Amino acid sequence: MKTNRVHYQKLQVNGLNVFYREAGPVDGPVVLLLHGYPTSSHMYRNLIPILAEKYHVFAPDLIGFGNSDAPHYKSFDYTFDNLTKYVQGFIDQLGLERFVVQVFDYGAPVGFRLAVANPTKITGIITQNGNAYVEGLSDGWNPIQKYWADPSEQNRNNLRVLSTAESTQWQYFTGVSDKSLIAPESYLLDQFFLDRSENEEIQLDLFKDYASNVALYPTFHQYFRDSQVPLLAVWGDKDPFFLPAGAEAFRKDLPDAIVKLYDTGHFALETHVDEIGEAILTFLDTLPR
């Protein structure tokens, strides 16, 4: 029986190493945590022990992020379909038959793809600033949308600023009233991985492919309507990228969705992990085992 101590492991999926954090009772209900840009499973470091008292928690690093393998962008297709393929292989190899998926930022389009492909496996969805509606896209997406419309070298180069240390710290601090709550190792670790050789190109490829996620929004909405999957949205309402309207929009297709807004920014777990953790535990207690 594992305790709520965290175990750091790797699993080979389709020839690549996927790093993951695991904690909690092995016979407990499973919760899969999917991180976003530009972070890794490290973003869940404070939430995992809260959940692991009762739940069997898995938090992988996406390919190209954190401690998972990051093949060269010219030899690997950095698309959200391909990232999802490796998470699918991860859950298949671990034999995860029923689980709740928690998503954030990039983890949302990956998690929603998984849900569409595995509807009988998903017992619930928790989305923390993980968007699925155009209403949730702020003006901060305008330069990226310009790149979707015209994938020129100039428009690609214009997005390089998003991988700088200043931009990474800005993502953590924007919308946060008490910046002393932000652990510096969070954005410093993210930047360490962003600064790896050629990693910026990986991120630019994913910025370009994010258009595929917006194109899939109607498919995600149809899944929500058909499944009526239980959903909890916990949202930093000062997020510069994903607006609170994106959280409220889930109720269009899931009338029973629970939406909770918090006075903070994009990385809400950095400042409100206790409140969000409590909301998640309350939600999880209502789900079928």
Q: Per-residue pLDDT averaged across 86-110, rounded?
A: 98
CA-to-CA distance for 111 and 121, rounded, in angstroms? 12
Domain extent at residue 37: 7-284
- pLDDT higher than 80, residue 4: no
List, for residues 188-219, the tens digit of each pLDDT value: 999 999 999 999 999 999 999 999 999 999 99
% of the chain surpassing 90 pLDDT: 98
Q: Per-residue pLDDT averaged across 277-284, rounded?
A: 98
- pLDDT higher than 90, residue 153: yes
97 part of a folded domain: yes
List, for residues 117-128, the tens digit of each pLDDT value: 999 999 999 999
Other beta carbons less than 10 A from residue 22's beta carbon: 20
Q: Per-residue pLDDT averaged across 87-116, rounded?
A: 98
What positions carry a catalytic annotation?
A: 266
> Which whole-number Å values give the CA distances from 206 to 73, 81, 219, 264, 289, in the listed order?
10, 11, 20, 26, 35
Where residue 1 falls among pLDDT bands split at 50, 70, 90?
Answer: very low
Q: Token pair of 26, please?
A: 């092995």
245 part of a folded domain: yes
Strands 30-34 and 16-23, bridge-based pairing: unpaired
Where residue 2 falls among pLDDT bands split at 50, 70, 90?
Answer: very low
CA-to-CA distance for 151 and 109, rounded, in angstroms? 21
289 part of a folded domain: no
What is the model's pLDDT at position 3? 60
2 part of a folded domain: no
Q: Per-residue pLDDT averaged across 150-161, rounded?
A: 97
CATH number at residue 197: 3.40.50.1820
42 part of a folded domain: yes
List, for residues 249-263, the tens digit of each pLDDT value: 999 999 999 999 999
176 part of a folded domain: yes
1 part of a folded domain: no
Q: How many domains does the chain have?
A: 1
Q: Per-residue pLDDT averaged across 63-89, rounded?
A: 98
- pLDDT higher than 50, residue 45: yes
The one-letter code for the residue type at 29 is: P
CA-to-CA distance for 263 and 177, rounded, in angstroms? 8
- pLDDT higher than 80, residue 62: yes
Q: Per-residue pLDDT averaged across 119-146, rounded?
A: 97
**How high is the mean pLDDT of the chain?**
97
- 289 DSSP 8-state letter: -
The pTM (predicted TM-score) of the whole model is: 0.97
259 part of a folded domain: yes
Strands 56-60 and 16-23, bridge-based pairing: antiparallel
Q: To which residue do tokens 């910026």 refer?
A: 200
Other beta carbons less than 10 A from residue 113's beta carbon: 23
What is the model's pLDDT at position 108? 98
- pLDDT higher than 50, residue 36: yes
